[in-house]
Amino acid sequence: MSQDKPSAMPMPMPEWVRADIPETVSRALQEDVGSGDITAELIPADDHAEARVITREPMTLAGSAWVDEVFQQLGGSVLVQWHAQDGEQVPADTALFTLQGRTRAILTGERTALNFLQTLSATATQARDYADKVAGTGVTLLDTRKTLPGLRTAQKYAVTCGGCANHRIGLYDAFLLKENHIAACGSITGAVEKARALYPQRWVEVEVENFAELEDALATGCDVIMLDNFSLDDLRRAVKHVAGKVKLEASGGIDDTTLRSVAETGVDYISIGGLTKHVRAIDLSLRLVS
């Protein structure tokens, strides 16, 4: 990747994200290009062009590595020159990157590249908006597993570009004991004991819906207790009662209108599915300039 700014991103890209990019891009190109781009065949094979991609609205950038991979997989005949970095907030009508190379490859990769960029930047932009709303409260905003199918790692990365953090990545890296798990195990205590016995090093979080369950969860020594759909008064009461003995996470029905109030109750974390599932694609435009 060629950039006219330093290549370092505001935060390092985790290896588990980087490793997923080639396969994710390959699937996306296959579903779009299939057996070949017949429209691009209208253009002479040796024709070269330059193109610019601009954003029509303010945004936080995320997804540059996916764009780079699109044109790399199309033969590497297109140079991608970035004018902004992942995590950077850019105003409307800003040129995000320039493409130079074979016209066919530019036009064949256009939609796949922009699909990644508009979706991941939308996720980062949403995350940045939410993070700004709780600035100064000390709370950490977390995403959830409510991601677009096939884009789990990409959206998780985009959330961090917007200043929020990742909850568990999937069902394999941490326990989240919800109502049905607890019922199947017989009790909160039983569920936590089984989790600890199976995978002693894994993070164990327990979801509770009332103060009786909170007491049971607190007694298990779990790592986090999720307070599901607690009122603001009950969140404040829970924070005071727990007094730092365990991390507390608020979840359920929280949006941009209630976010700040929830953060000010003193909980450690707030998890919000809307960071990834309610995003609206950023309006991007690619135009040939020569």
Question: Cα separation of 57 and 265, whole Å?
Answer: 34
Question: Cα separation of 213 and 211, whole Å?
Answer: 5
268 is annotated as an active-site residue: no
146 is annotated as an active-site residue: yes
5 is annotated as an active-site residue: no
Of 111, 133, 145, 247, which is the active-site residue?
A: 111
Of 68, 228, 249, 268, which is the active-site residue?
A: 228
228 is annotated as an active-site residue: yes
* 5 band by pLDDT with thresholds 50, 70 and 90: very low
264 is annotated as an active-site residue: no
Evaluate if pTM is beyond 0.85: yes
Question: Cα separation of 126 and 164, whole Å?
Answer: 10
How far are the Cα atoms of 176, 223, 246, 262, 290 from residue 267, in angstroms, in the given order? Answer: 18, 14, 10, 8, 54
Of 18, 145, 178, 277, which is the active-site residue?
A: 178
pLDDT for 281: 98
pLDDT digits (tens, 9 = 90+) for 137-156: 999 999 999 999 999 999 99
Of 18, 145, 146, 196, which is the active-site residue?
A: 146
Mean pLDDT of 236-253: 97
Residue with tokens 């253009």: 43
DSSP state at residue 162: T
Question: Cα separation of 136 and 260, whole Å?
Answer: 10
pLDDT for 12: 76
Of 88, 207, 249, 268, which is the active-site residue?
A: 207
Question: Cα separation of 104 and 165, whole Å?
Answer: 39
